[in-house]
């Protein structure tokens, strides 16, 4: 690696305030705000809106979409049309 062209890679805390969840990792992000971590050291902190502790997919609160209803609505609107058969051998 060429020296002087890469950002600093350092420990940083990402915090999800909505879920009261934080984790320490390493990143090139910077922040003027700091937090004292469990090990007694002070690290920069970045607040995020969504993390694995608050995302519906990871918490099991996700909704299942009615895709069959959407397909039926599309077919009613545009009618069932036969798809053209794909020609696997192209002639040049």
Q: What is the DSSP string of 29-74?
A: ---S-EEE-TTS-EEEEEE-S--TTT-HHHHT-PPPP-HHHHHHHH
Note down pLDDT in tens along the chain; length 92 residues.
Answer: 688 898 889 999 999 888 888 999 999 999 999 999 999 999 999 998 888 777 766 666 666 666 667 777 888 888 777 566 666 665 55
Q: Report how far residue 10's alpha carbon sits from residue 7's, in angstroms, rounded to the nearest whole number.
A: 9
Q: Report how far residue 54's alpha carbon sits from residue 36's, in angstroms, rounded to the nearest whole number.
A: 23
Q: Report how far residue 50's alpha carbon sits from residue 71's, in angstroms, rounded to the nearest whole number.
A: 31
pTM comes to 0.58
Residues 6+ apart with CB under 8 A from 31: 12, 44, 45, 46
């Amino acid at each position: 690696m060429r020296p002087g062209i890469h950002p600093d890679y350092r420990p940083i805390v990402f915090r999800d305030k909505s879920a009261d969840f934080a984790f320490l990792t390493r990143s090139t992000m910077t922040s003027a705000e700091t937090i004292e971590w469990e090990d007694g050291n002070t690290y920069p902190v970045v607040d995020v809106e969504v993390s694995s502790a608050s995302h519906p997919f990871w918490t099991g609160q996700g909704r299942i979409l009615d895709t069959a209803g959407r397909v039926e609505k599309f077919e009613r609107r545009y009618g069932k049309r036969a798809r053209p058969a794909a020609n696997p051998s192209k002639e040049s």
